[in-house]
Amino acid sequence: MMLLECFIFGMIASLITGARCKVTEVFAEAGSQAVLPCKSSSTSLASPFIIWSKANKGTIWRKQKSGLQYWGSSWSQKGIQRVQCPNSLFERGDYSLHINNVREEDGGVYSCSVENGVQVVENVVMLRIMIVSFSLSVPILGKDVSVTCNVTPWPHGASVHWMLNNSPFVPQTGISSNRDTSKIVVRVKATARLTGNWTCVVGYKGSEGRASATLSVKGIIKPPNDNTKVYASVGSAAALPCVFSNDLVPSLPVWEKLQPGSLFKPAPGRLPSSFSPSSQSSQLAWDKSASLKAVEFKDEGRYRCSGTVQGQRLSRNIQLIVAKIDSSVPSKKKGSVTLTCQLSDASEVTDYEWVHVTYDLNGTQSVGFIQKGKTLSISQGSEENQGEWACRFSGKEGILGNVTYHVQLMSGLNGQKSKGFSHNTAAVVGLSFLLFVLLLILAQMYKNHQRRKRIFQYPALETIVHTISNEREERERNRAKK
């Protein structure tokens, strides 16, 4: 059809001298302004006869030599003309047609004719309107969405490629391109990575057209990915984030702890004792973040936050990694302690470093003595080693967290403890001795008592014995007197 137009224009033009025929390709994004060029090289002072028309739609604008103008009625919208030819450009021989707020139906063949005395300039312009659209205006994360690039009329043989956030988007597996007569479609699964500005770039006969649209995906935006790792140290508080898109209030929000080794099965046990789900009234309705007040080492593992949005269950898995410091006293080195930085999952940790944290009177923290490595050996007795020691662990992207150990407190306790031990030992030994003596005395008393009891069992015998002995004594006395 376009060629036919050109042919017709060419025929008309050939009747008059100096005619040319050339098709200019113009791409315009729907809603923008399209500029259809029409230039005359002649610089005659006389006002030319200009006519712009669209194939099948008749005259758009006509200006007679006398200056009389005619505007096609179909180009005004509520009394406002969508088309114009800026007067200011006429003296340079530029009679370009400007179309504001172009629509899909504006696509097609336009022609411009400038008749200046004996010279007639014919210009044919092909206007192609581009639109990028999505099958769902705001898709929910994980749902399929197709991105469509419409070009009206479609340039057969054109090259098409996509840009996502200004970098080339290379379709991967699961993304299909479907080329039919008027559009190109890319099917993708809505993920956070695919949000942003989608641009369709069409190249055709040396000119290029672009159209863009922004895809915003709704769902759980924080954390953006599954299996996000959260680091916490034993005894500290930990936050488990779970934030849905603004104004996306999930129904039936649930937090679960997953069975070790399983990605989906909730653990039969309950959530940790210090776990508290979102319930603060200050929290926004789409923020379902939870927290642990005081993390214990056994709280490590996978947690799942889920909620229902538009009939679809959305969930996010978060891994809580707990850090602690194990201390051990080597048998041969008295007074020293070996500290080991332990993490429930150290797979992302590339570096450990130990720092000595001190606080001045104002409570300002300062950090000194840095040693690399997972373990640290220090002497507990020395004054300068007292205070807080922190093990900082970091991964590829920087510091992941830290866990602290207090030496001053520990060495103090140890001193007291060991002294306490010696006191106790002395006391125990003393008491045992006393008890032993007491027992001996008791045993002696018992023995005496028993003997006496045996004698008292025979009181008559005792009397006889007594009388006999008395008589014997008297006889002996009498004998002595004699």
Ligand X SMILES: *[C@@H]1O[C@H](CO)[C@@H](O)[C@H](O)[C@H]1NC(C)=O
Residues that bind ligand X (CB under 6 A): 355, 357, 360-362, 364, 367, 390, 392, 402
Beta bridge partners of 149: 132, 184
> How many other C-beta atoms can be found within 10 angstroms of the C-beta atom of residue 234?
18
In the complex, minimum distance from the CB of residue 388 to ligand X, in angstroms, rounded to a whole number:
8
Name the residue among 441, 336, 333, 326 with its Cα closest to residue 379.
Answer: 336
Measured from the CB atom, is 118 or 237 closer to ligand X? 237
Question: Does residue 413 sit in helix, strand or coil?
Answer: helix
Neighbours of 67 (CB within 10 A): 7
CB of 212 to ligand X, least distance (A): 40
* Cβ atoms of residues 182 and 200 within 8 Å: no
**How far is it, in rounded angstroms, from Cα 352 to Cα 371?**
8
- Round to whole Å and give the CA distance between 377 and 159: 66
451, containing H or E segment: helix 407-456
Distance separating alpha carbons of residues 133 and 146, to the nearest angstrom: 8
**Which residue number, 8 or 357, has a Cβ lying nearer to ligand X?**
357
Nearer to ligand X, 30 or 232 (CB): 232
Q: Using the minimum distance from each CB to ligand X, give the nearer residue, 199 or 233.
A: 233
Shortest distance, CB of residue 374 to ligand X, whole angstroms? Answer: 16
Output 194 or 323, the one with its CB closest to ligand X: 323
Q: Which two structure tokens, joined as six digits, stand for 431?
A: 């008491």
Pairing relationship of beta strands 275-276 and 238-240 according to DSSP bridges: unpaired
Q: Among 357, 362, 365, 419, which residue's Cα sits nearest to residue 385?
A: 357
CB of 402 to ligand X, least distance (A): 4
Burial 90-113 (b: 16+ CB within 10 A, else e): eeebebbbebeebeeebbbbbbbb
Which CB, 87 or 364, lies closer to ligand X?
Answer: 364
Q: Which of 317, 157, 106 is nearest to 223 (CA)?
A: 317
CA distances from 81 to 28, 77, 85, 90, 393 (A): 18, 6, 11, 19, 67
Q: How far is the CB of 239 from ligand X (least distance, A)?
A: 11
Please report the DSSP string for 308-373 in residue order. EETTEEEEEEEEEEEEEEEEE--SSSTTEEEEEEEES--TT--EEEEEEEEE-TT--EEEEEEEES
Q: Which is nearer to ligand X, 365 or 467 (CB)?
A: 365
- Nearest residue (CB) to ligand X, 321 versus 355: 355
Residue 141 or 391 having the CB closest to ligand X? 391
Task: Tell me the closest approach of the beta carbon of residue 421 to ligand X, in angstroms.
Answer: 34
Query: Residue 23 or residue 357: which is nearer to ligand X going by CB?
Result: 357
| Cα–Cα separations (whole angstroms), residue 202 to 163, 171, 244, 254 | 11, 16, 36, 47
Shortest Å, Cβ 403 to ligand X: 8
Least distance in angstroms from the C-beta of 257 to ligand X: 24
Residue closer to ligand X (CB basis): 367 or 409: 367
DSSP 433: H
